Amino acid sequence: MPLWDAVMMATKTPADILYLKNKGRISKEADADLVLLEEYYNVTWTMIGGKVIVRLKHILYIILKLVS
């Protein structure tokens, strides 16, 4: 299955079934809940309500880079 189809089935389709017009899509009216994946589909960051939620391993990586 193409990635695009899988993403739509996991986001827009359930939101539409539940009549959640502000979920499952990227638009001006949406809640700005997003996930950025790297090339191996690991989560890079998550945005909830337009605010980026930083993952712990990234904080540790940044701290280690600053200290070294």
Confidence at 20, pLDDT banded by 50, 70, 90:
very high
Quote the pLDDT of residue 58.
62
Quickly tell me which residue has 């939101």 as its tokens: 15
Confidence at 59, pLDDT banded by 50, 70, 90:
low
| H helical segments located in 11-68 | 12-17, 56-67
Count of domains observed in the chain:
1
Query: What is the domain extent for residue 38?
Result: 3-67
Quickly tell me which residue has 């945005």 as its tokens: 47
- In a 3-state reduction of DSSP, which class is residue 51? strand
Per-residue burial over 12-42, b if 16 or more Cβ lie within 10 Å, else e, is eeebeeeeeeeebeeeeebeebeeeeeeeee
Q: Which of these ranges, 6-15, 26-35, 39-48, has the smallest mean pLDDT? A: 39-48
